[in-house]
Amino acid sequence: MAVLCLTLFTAFTLSAAEPKITVSGTVTLQSDGEPLTGVSVRLKGTSQGVATDIDGNYSLPASKGDVLIFSYIGCATLELEVTGPTLNVELKDDIQKLDDVVVVGYGTMKRSDITGSVVSVSEKDIKKTIVTSVDQALQGRAAGVQVTQNSGAPGGGISVAIRGTNSLNGNEPLYVIDGIAVEGQTNGNTSALSSINPSDIVSLEVLKDASATAIYGSRASNGVVLITTKRGSVGKTKISYEGYYASQRIPKFLDSMNLREYAKLYNERADILGWGKREEFADPSVLGDGTNWQKEIFQNAGMHSHQLSVSGGNDATQFLISGGYTDQDGIAVGSAFERFTARINVDTKVAKWLKVGAQSSLSTSKRTNTIDDYNVIETALRQLPEVPAKNPDGSWGYQEDNTLGTYYTNPLADALTRENYWKGLQAVV
């Protein structure tokens, strides 16, 4: 009985199946009626498909009720049901995809016209984390862009390489800020872009391919980073403020000997060599911890940033005026970064066919760094725990000559008493 039912079901299924037919037709563009070459015609739910020939014709086997998918670059994808052997199709232009505007070196272009590789970082992406310089905003946000921090000090130098090492004379890309080219080479441990306020930026566009050299010449051999700043808009005058406060601290101290452990090691050395014993180290258990030099030179440091802007305008003229202040203390004493910025952007529509823009910016910054140049951190790891950071009378503690034959300076005194700073002033009119 079961065999009989299965046989009847199979027969019913075969009798219900539609016979295969050959479906053919012509695919044209709706706007002008021109035939389209290379249109993909695929049977939905399968990998079976063909492409139209030079005259826009196609032909493939299908059954009535099947669905054909027609797709072509720049046109909206269309799905049609097979009702007979002939199926002519008109495809519509997909204006939305073709008219996406992308900022490039010489202004803006439609995405459909771009042949090079472009990576974009938006204002929203920049504000997700706290950054003090433009190049930090690219770190981890642009594929093929390698950002390396050369110094841990605030405002320190940062190197940017697009698609690896490209030149023997430096790998920094060319930065173009609102059409003005700025060389990105760092000066020692100082970033060339630390004077720019990231809060002024609307977007970052990275041109990675060699096509960028056609715009900016040999300066763009390492790539180009296009920076677009905020501008005014039509509407009532708006006053906006944004700011933040952050606290910085070192996540972990390196393990080092305290005074008791150092005294024990010193005694073991004296026993092996047979000389150099010190009376004050006779019983290490009565000694204290001594000086932890890492705790002396590292601190919990604050940083804060403030941005105030006024913008507005009418159909003829739009303006934006902004001012910013950033102050960052380093977690290592003797390091800090301070920056003042001001920017004015004005756009005026002189005639229906003519629009004129003007911009001016001023930035002053100061970077203090006595850490990198005097090996303060290395000295703090090597200095003996028996040396006090400061003596009871307030003077700096210094290491006395000892049998170890090594002498190190006071790293805290090196960081706080030596003066080493860099000042920068940048004006664009």
Lowest model confidence (mean pLDDT) among 58-62, 192-196, 331-335:
192-196
Q: Are 56 and 27 in contact (CB under 8 A)?
A: yes
Nearest to 159 by CA among 137, 178, 177, 186: 186
What pLDDT, in 10s, does the model give residues 86-107? 999 999 887 555 555 555 554 5
Confidence of residue 305 (pLDDT cuts 50, 70, 90): very high
How many other CB atoms sit within 10 Å of the CB of residue 234?
Answer: 11
> Domains in the chain, ordered, with CATH?
17-96 (2.60.40.1120), 101-229 (2.170.130.10), 231-256+292-429 (no CATH)
| Nearest Cα residue to 87 out of 103, 65, 115 | 65
Rounded Cα–Cα distance for residues 416 and 204 (Å): 38
Q: Can you read off the two tokens belonging to residue 340?
A: 């003042």
pLDDT at 370: 85
- Lowest average pLDDT, out of 17-26, 78-87, 190-199, 262-271, goes to 190-199
Q: Give the CA-trace dihedral at 190, 133, 161, 163, to 10 degrees.
A: 180
- For 195, list phi and psi in degrees, rounded to 5: -85, -5
Q: Where are the beta strands (DSSP E) in 201-300?
A: 201-207, 224-229, 235-248
CA nearest 301: which of 321, 266, 327, 324? 327
CA distances (Å), 392 to each of 54, 388, 397, in order?
94, 9, 9
**CB 314, CB 234: distance < 8 Å:** yes
What is the reported pTM? 0.67
Block residue for tokens 């934006």: 320
pLDDT digits (tens, 9 = 90+) for 165-222: 656 566 788 888 887 887 766 555 556 677 788 888 888 888 876 666 667 777 777 8
